[in-house]
A and B are shown apart, each in its own frame.
Chain A
Amino acid sequence: MAALSVGDLMVRYGSVTAVRGVSFDVAAGSVLGLVGESGSGKSTVARALVGLTPATGSMRIDGADLSSRQARRRVQLVFQDSRSSLDPRYTVEQCVAEGLTGVRGRAASARVAELLDLVSLDPAVAGSRPGDLSGGQRQRVAIARALAARPDVVIADEVTASLDVSVQAVVLNLLRRLRAELGLTMIFISHNLAVVEYMCDDLAVMFDGRIVEYGAVGEVIGRPEHPYTRSLLAAVPEIGQRRLLSESDVEASAVTDPASAGGCAYRLRCPIGPAANPEREICVTTEPAATAAHAHHAACHFARELDHPVGPRG
């Protein structure tokens, strides 16, 4: 088991700043969830951690810097779409073996068989090509390949987003079992809050490249402090609840671009910010900072005023 620590991570794509000073710790063997709307920077954080995107800031695993290629192998990423993350030209065995180092021939085949068994795949699929497998099987091959590198940290970026619900559960159960059996530390990225709640210990909510709320998953979902988290929770569709049509935590506007720099990036949509209460000028002039003093914290000037429970179960 290994702990992951990220400090002041910053990623720029040309003139766009996709991640603006993100810091978090993931305790050894625990699962951190990352939620937020598309474009909020979740995938960019993941790509920076595995070295696919140049970034500034500190990334450490058990205190050791993550910049060498050897250290990088300790962090593995499982992609959203297994159709594109597995090279269609190679067999399942060849795909998984790509993650192995220092073993060849018979030993490699044996190790691949072990890994396929670990992800509950029939060893008979070793000779098939990814195109012949179902989405759930393919995603398990991708997980087996990541495990072949013997990682301490696994990042799962929307790994079930392109699967049908009945199969999604197979992959989620597998990830939970692997985490327990192998003592993996995980970052679990998803837009599905119910899944995140089920899978994670801690939760970070991202908006416009920043973490706007952070805390134990039960705390954040049970007592959300940031207005964005509350809108997010109010928007989760739930079977037979008819909550989406209710009036609670409706965003103030439908604009999707974040506000210009200077104040709070969420201020144009915030249901309790200046769009609804013009006297709250501080939201326009001053960027709210998260107070890391509390284990559960939110980057909002008026966070503490929202202590009545809301969310799906409220």
Chain B
Amino acid sequence: MTAAFRGPRPGRLLSGGVPLLLILLFVFLSVAGPSIWGEAASASNVAEANQSISAAHWMGTDDLGRDILARTLVATRNSLVLAVVATIVGGCVGIGLGLLSAMSRRLGRALGALINVLIAFPALLLAIFFAVLFGIGSVGSVLAVGASFAPGFARITQTLTASVVSKEYVEASRVLGRGPIYRTFRHILPNIAEPVVLYSTIHIGTAVLALSGLSFLGLGVQPPVYDWGRLLNDGLTRIYVTPGVAIAPSIAIVLAGLTFNLAGERLSDLIAGRRSAPSARRSQPRPAEPAPDPAGDGGGALVDVRHLRVTYASADGRVTTPVRDVSFTLAPKERVGIVGESGSGKSLTAAAIAQLIEEPGHVEAERLRFMDADLLTPDDSTRHVLGRNMAMVFQDPGEALNPAIKIGTHLIEPAVIHLRESKPDAKRKALDALRAVAITDPARRFEQHRHELSGGMKQRVGIAIGLMGEARLLIADEPTTALDVTVQRQILRLVDRLGARTEAGLLFISHDIAVVSELCDRIIVMYAGFIVEEAATADLLESPAHPYTSVLLAASPRMGLDKSRPLVAIDGRMPGPDADLPGCYFAARCPRADATCLSDRPPLRELADGRRAACWHPLTEPGDVPTSEGATI
């Protein structure tokens, strides 16, 4: 399960340095072209008129004997400047319209409809229409191309703005009394700038093509001024006689178009790359200090995990370790809770047991067993054991349900596939399961899809699916976190009742120690990818041994708090999965930390009373809890 090596993408080179060089070349030609080749381009010499490609005139001459190559080079300035101006005109008009339509309640709908209509026409068609409208000549054609770009700019601005406007920082700005113009310049434009700049860069290329097209049709630049399109127009009649006269401007047009397109894409790659850029230094994985094995040899356990470690390798070779060292067992019928703050590795621990870690994730362990199955060397029979005996309920109940598949199909699938039951039998069982989770009108729900159910109902369906496979273990990962307390209570009661009925084991994960303590016999506390404490629920609540557990308990608000005192608080943040510390990962926030804690990792040790904690200075006396003052760092 190692990350696949990624070589350089084909075409990287093309989209990398080459467009940049070409842009520099075009800029140089625009600036210096007329002064270098201006004379050659305008010197008419009738004697040399209509010549073909030769050593003196690489691309031949026109009907007045002027050098085509020189004229093409000189025309770069006109072609590109007009293209840039046209893009700016289109951009300003379009961005303005887009902003207005996304921000104004009154104008929004009408402008949106207008943009929709305009965007349906091909840009070139619009450009020709506007060119006729604005009149023939450079000004007219620039305005025309600009106008034809405006709907596209308006649309992208409108879409981007709509997503930024509803951001809370924009709303906060409104609440602070800031007006729409301030908000536009302060929050909206900076946050939509990147994609709009990209879009503009690509459109310079398109503008070169469009303006050349107009000039070619005689609608654009008028003689004696000339751009590439004009040159092409002049040369086209002689294309079979002296091909250079048509080829030179054609190459210029195509090259400019390609260059700006590629540059736009390259820019967008760069920006995307910067977004995903590493925010922390490279960290080398180091072998974790082996913790002693949990009591017993794990024989007969439902779940047996020894020294589980989950790493993620990113494409650039960095390794993060969200689960650093986890060892525990879960006996049949036992209810074990895992608590810890977000990012402590709870969910990934469960995912590793359920074989849900996917590339580029990597699972290592000394032992990872579920019933008889060795999860470190999974085969078809392992999958069968998992499918039949393990059920999972997730925080987002919708996630587990495929929106395109009926609720009923989700329910009967495990029974049909893993238990090889007939469909009618499975359906009968499914309706029973829905009734068991207190879903009213199960026959109707059976035919419905996920979007027709409320959050609590989806969660109930998830549990009903768990019931179908005769599961020996139910893994519930924050199943009630997104729900209201009254619904949470119903779900917890359901899990409790079903657990009692089916005698399945339970691995219940939550950030809320109060919820876990309602259901579980034993509680595992995780911090920064380690198990820091494990004990029977009552012992853990009464006399936490690890300082983190004690802070967690003390800081959890409960009814009837003394309002005259501040809450027990502990500031700071848990080290992330990219941290690599030699000592205790809680040391930076721990009121009991000393030099040893910083230099040596405390192993998960068996304490006298049969519980385990990973701490050099466990709180031994039940009353030995950090005080409010003591713990506030």
Contact = CB atoms under 8 A, between A and B. Distances in A.
Q: How large is the interface on B (under 10, 10 to 19, 20 to 34, 35 or more residues)?
A: 35 or more
B513 A166 contact: no
B485 A237 contact: yes
A237 B571 contact: no
B232 to A, nearest CB: 45
A4 to B, nearest CB: 15
A313 B559 contact: yes
B568 to A, nearest CB: 6
Given A173-B566, A176-B566, A235-B486, A52 B559 contact: no
Given A81-B168, A172-B567, A239 B517 contact: yes
A106 interface: no
A172 to B, nearest CB: 6
Interface string B165-198: 0011101111111100000001100110000000
B178 A238 contact: no
B244 to A, nearest CB: 51
B487 A254 contact: yes
A93 to B, nearest CB: 14
Given A197-B561, A198-B563, A136 B571 contact: yes
B587 to A, nearest CB: 15
Contacts of B489: 234-235, 244, 250
A51 B515 contact: no
Nearest to A39: B484
Contact of A165 (B175, B537, B556): B556
Given A237-B488, A254-B438, A244 B191 contact: no
A171 to B, nearest CB: 9
A253 B176 CA distance: 43
A234 B552 CA distance: 23
Contacts of B542: 240
B460 interface: yes
Interface in A136-150: 136, 142, 145-146, 148-149
Contacts of B104: none
A102 B103 CA distance: 26
Contact of B517 (A52, A235, A240): A240
B569 A238 contact: no
Given A164-B341, A165-B341, A198 B175 contact: no
Contact of B538 (A169, A240, A244, A250): A240
A240 B537 contact: yes
Interface stretch (B42-50, B387-395, B490-498): B490-498
A179 interface: no
B176 A98 contact: yes
Contacts of A237: 485, 488, 492, 512, 514-515, 517-518
Contacts of A128: none
A87 interface: yes
Given A51-B174, A256-B456, A197 B559 contact: yes
Nearest to A233: B559
A87 B569 contact: no
A67 interface: no
A267 B511 CA distance: 33
B274 to A, nearest CB: 13
A72 B558 contact: no
Contacts of A294: none
B561 A85 contact: no
The residue in B167, B172, B455, B518 that gathers the most chain A C-beta atoms within 10 A of its C-beta is B172
Contacts of A164: 341-342, 511, 574
A70 interface: yes
Interface string A27-67: 00000000001100000000000111000000000000000
A245 to B, nearest CB: 5
B573 interface: yes
Contacts of B557: 165, 168-169, 172, 192, 194-195, 198
A87 B486 contact: no
A145 B172 CA distance: 9
The residue in B169, B490, B567, B632 that gathers the most chain A C-beta atoms within 10 A of its C-beta is B169
B457 A256 contact: yes
A79 B187 CA distance: 17
Contact of B190 (A89, A168, A198): A89
B556 A239 contact: yes
A245 B518 contact: yes
Given A197-B560, A198-B561, 11 more contacts: A38-B484, A50-B175, A52-B171, A81-B168, A98-B173, A168-B555, A168-B557, A240-B517, A240-B537, A244-B493, A254-B440
